[in-house]
Structure 1
Amino acid sequence: MSRVPTLYSRAFPSLSIRPHCRPLSLLSSGNRHAFPKTPGARPAHLRRPTTVQKRQITSWINSQSRVSTIFTVLVVLGVASTAYGLYQFYDTFHTWPPAIRSDLRAGIKAKHNGDLALSERYLRRALQTALNEPETLGDHVHLKLSGIAAALGGVLEDAKRMRDACDVYRAALGLLLDPSSLPPFEPSDAPDAAAAKAAAERPRTLPPLTPEDHLRAASLAHHLAELLSEYKDPTWTPREAREQEERWRTCAVEEAIRAVRGATPSAAAPSQPPLSHPTTPEKGGESEEVQAMLSELELPVWMRRTEVSAPLEALGRFYTQEGKVEYAVPLYLEALQILMPPALSLQAQGRVPSIAERCRGAQIMNNLSEVQLAGPQGPTSHAREAAQRWSRQALETARRARAEVPEPSSSKGWFSRLFSKDDRRDDELEEGLETCQATVVAALFNLGSLLEMSGNVTEAQGMYTQSWEEARAIGMKEGMREARTALRRLERDSAQQKEGARGKN
């Protein structure tokens, strides 16, 4: 009798092909002599599995169970995360009135789908509806109005329409700087005559600004200035472009200070900047007052010190580029006081600057090192010594802060991060680490340059080498290139000096 064929019997003994001539029944009382009685001649499907085969069967079943379990868990997590994301997306708009909610949701959805023109249309209609009926927004009217404007400006930026985006940001800032400048009522396409008349007769004023609103104004002005530094309006002369950038950078600084003070801003004329210039060293009264006030204040939870210091740092950088060092230094110092207050104030508040704040502080210290050499008298010996002190302090601060960054394994797991709403701290840590790493590279290079100016070639070479190694460790190609160029220059100068000495001999 021929043997019944089987497929993959060794790997999968339970999947052997069964004969078609008779039904399988080990308890059948039929012809018992249909198969030989010798064990070797029994068909594969009737043999009793050996111990090895039992282990293979158990292993295969367990592996299939594990795969099935993992697949089920992944499916459940995928469905749960999708449902949670949809819940968050729709729940976000519940704070908005119904007349605005649908347009906002449609505008954000169109942006995510890549239809920027449709997104702009919905967001513009939502903004106009909010301007027509600001009383329906409830609390935080200024934050909601400026939030819609910021979303619309972001869509215009994505569409590369920088001029239109700047116009939207200017209009939003106009409302924040002067709450009484609410634009006139604009009826909708299909207006209700009675409702339109009642809405047009309502007073067109907004409530006074809170400190949080001032901070929003500072953020908008800071972003507008950054946009103007990259986008040059073709109708402006270079001087007008610089004046516009300076205007909004100064506005950002003033609004940040007002946010801390909690004062009500005075209505600024659209044609005039809020401040002509920041306080200079010769006019140190207000500057010292602001420094003391900013460093001693315990800011609210929603107000990050890095957000308050950013406009001051940006305006200081602008004045450094313009060669106005006497304006830049006080701004850098004020920003540093915000991020890293003096020791006495730390004891009074019981608060230690965060890693991100110290990294930003180290970056400002390095900027102060560069400013010392940009003065009208040039890189004098006194200026070089001051620059070295700032560079060494920046290097020490950045290295200490970098060493305190927790390892990724010590953070919460991926499952917790999936459903966590508070990812801001992790983003701050990552941003702070990147700032510290870049500051270490820059501070080492600056120290090398300063030592080279002073004639300490050996120490300068060591600093350049460390800068190259740090840049290589983080994949910073620009830092590697600059350090390599400086090292080659030192080698070339050394070779020329040796050749000159041999020529004299």
Structure 2
Amino acid sequence: MYAIMGMWPKEVRNDLRVAVRAKQKEDWRTAASYFERAYGTAIALPDPPASFGADYIIKISAIALSLADVLESAGELPKAYSVYGSAFADLTHGLPSPSESSTSLEADQRVRAIGTALKMAELGEQILHVRALGRAPADSDYGPADEAEVEEKLDWALTEALRLRSASAKSTEKGKEKENDTLNLPRWVEGVDLTSTMERVADYYSRKGKVEYAVPLYVHAISTLLPPPNATTSGLFSSTPSPSIGDRCKAATLMNNLSSLFASMTPVNVPQATAWAQKALEVAQKAEGESKSASEERLECQNVIAVVLFNLGMLNELSNEHGKAQSHYEHALEMSKAIGMNEGVTEAQEALRRLKSQPRRP
């Protein structure tokens, strides 16, 4: 631990060491106290570049994000939201617009800001939901003012991700494992890309019933993962010419999300929902067939297949195609058992029981 902490300035090193140890023990109060003290010390230093190096904004934000993560784990969501907001403000203050001349350091900073904005939107939605239920905590003055603030963060993240797609500077954020591992930063900090950003925003609008916003985002995300033949892309968030097994199964998941979105409409758009589900099944099954046995990617594809099969059964049931519904439910049950998806097993068994108890309509 001592050697690892050597990358941090002596002014914050001891506090961070105590905070990380407390976090590992899930002693949230102690961890929060020391992370907060370290963050306060860091932002008060007279010459941050001299203390932290050229990437001082990235490193100081790591302390803030660690503090917010601990507060979130302790259930203090409004306070966590406030600290995430401070980190976001630090990351975006004075940041120039992305351009062909952007440096990798600026790209790192922007990518982390995008991830923080997405996290604030996620947490803000939770806080607003608790308030709506009349269970707001004592510190309810913290947190988003309304849904508009949540959407503002999502729109900012999406806009920046799209702008960065064509920028020439490459982010090295995913290569910062040393810094991230030192403070046990949450995984989302280094898991931001264009596709995941579009998916997060689309999921939000889908939950809010704003189909006109969600559908094009899902379609765009799918086309990013599965670009047309001979398509060329470049930039920070570019897609590979030959989609990986993981990307193909991720695309199948998004296709299934689109299917569920069409199925939730009033009236239900069964043809569109079925078409997207069938395409999802086709893509996932082909990828699964080309994946290595017992690999993580294979299991991911099999999970998608089980979910899509069940959803196809539900769509068949809505269309009174009981024979097809039964077949899809049975295959979903078989796949769920094979991969140990207990929830899938339960839902498929319940669907089959329900189907058998229903009178067949002409």
The bucket for the TM-score relative to the shorter chain is: 0.7 to 0.9
The answer for the alignment partner of 1:112 in structure 2 is 24
For 1:147 and 1:350, locate their aligned partners in 2 and report how far apart those are by CA, in whole Å.
29
Please tell me whether the aligned partners of residues 359 and 433 of structure 1 are also in contact (alpha carbons under 8 angstroms): no
* Identity rate, percent: 33
**Residue 442, structure 1, aligned to residue 345, structure 2:** no
SS in 2 for 1:212: helix
The answer for the alignment partner of 2:336 in structure 1 is 471
Alignment of 1:297-336 (within 5 A): 302=173, 307-336=193-222
Alignment of 1:86-485 (within 5 A): 89-133=1-45, 134-135=48-49, 136-179=51-94, 210-231=106-127, 232-233=130-131, 234=136, 235=140, 241-262=146-167, 302=173, 307-345=193-231, 351-375=241-265, 378-379=267-268, 383-407=269-293, 430=296, 432-433=297-298, 435-485=300-350
Cα 1:322–1:347 change in 2 (3 A) is closer
For 2:72 and 2:205, locate their aligned partners in 1 and report how far apart those are by CA, in whole Å.
26
Please tell me whether the aligned partners of residues 225 and 246 of structure 1 are also in contact (alpha carbons under 8 angstroms): yes
Please tell me whether the aligned partners of residues 336 and 345 of structure 2 are also in contact (alpha carbons under 8 angstroms): yes
Superposition deviation, residue 96 in structure 1: 2.2
- Structure 2 residue identity aligned to 1:330: P
Superposition deviation, residue 175 in structure 1: 1.6
Superposition deviation, residue 308 in structure 1: 2.7
Please tell me whether the aligned partners of residues 18 and 34 of structure 2 are also in contact (alpha carbons under 8 angstroms): yes
What's the CA shift string for 1:387-442, capped at 9, x where partnerless? 2221111112222333344345xxxxxxxxxxxxxxxxxxxx73x55543332122
The answer for the alignment partner of 2:354 in structure 1 is 489
Cα 1:462–1:407 change in 2 (3 A) is closer
For 1:470 and 1:361, locate their aligned partners in 2 and report how far apart those are by CA, in whole Å.
20
SS in 2 for 1:125: helix
Cα 1:483–1:313 change in 2 (3 A) is same
- Structure 2 residue identity aligned to 1:110: A
Cα 1:456–1:367 change in 2 (3 A) is same
The answer for the alignment partner of 2:179 in structure 1 is none
The answer for the alignment partner of 1:56 in structure 2 is none
Please tell me whether the aligned partners of residues 305 and 338 of structure 1 are also in contact (alpha carbons under 8 angstroms): no
The answer for the alignment partner of 1:76 in structure 2 is none
Superposition deviation, residue 137 in structure 1: 1.5
Cα 1:172–1:492 change in 2 (3 A) is same
What's the CA shift string for 1:456-495, capped at 9, x where partnerless? 321221111111111222232332233223222322224x
Cα 1:360–1:305 change in 2 (3 A) is farther
For 2:228 and 2:57, locate their aligned partners in 1 and report how far apart those are by CA, in whole Å.
34
Number of aligned residues: 322
Please tell me whether the aligned partners of residues 306 and 360 of structure 1 are also in contact (alpha carbons under 8 angstroms): no
For 1:384 and 1:253, locate their aligned partners in 2 and report how far apart those are by CA, in whole Å.
30
Cα 1:404–1:230 change in 2 (3 A) is farther
What's the CA shift string for 1:260-308, capped at 9, x where partnerless? 344xxxxxxxxxxxxxxxxxxxxxxxxxxxxxxxxxx997675688633
For 1:254 and 1:472, locate their aligned partners in 2 and report how far apart those are by CA, in whole Å.
42
For 1:170 and 1:480, locate their aligned partners in 2 and report how far apart those are by CA, in whole Å.
41
Unaligned runs of 5+ in 2: 96-102, 175-189
Please tell me whether the aligned partners of residues 313 and 335 of structure 1 are also in contact (alpha carbons under 8 angstroms): yes
- Structure 2 residue identity aligned to 1:163: P
- Structure 2 residue identity aligned to 1:482: E
SS in 2 for 1:224: helix
For 1:469 and 1:305, locate their aligned partners in 2 and report how far apart those are by CA, in whole Å.
32
For 1:223 and 1:160, locate their aligned partners in 2 and report how far apart those are by CA, in whole Å.
15
Cα 1:343–1:300 change in 2 (3 A) is farther
TM-score with structure 1 setting the length: 0.57
Cα 1:249–1:487 change in 2 (3 A) is same
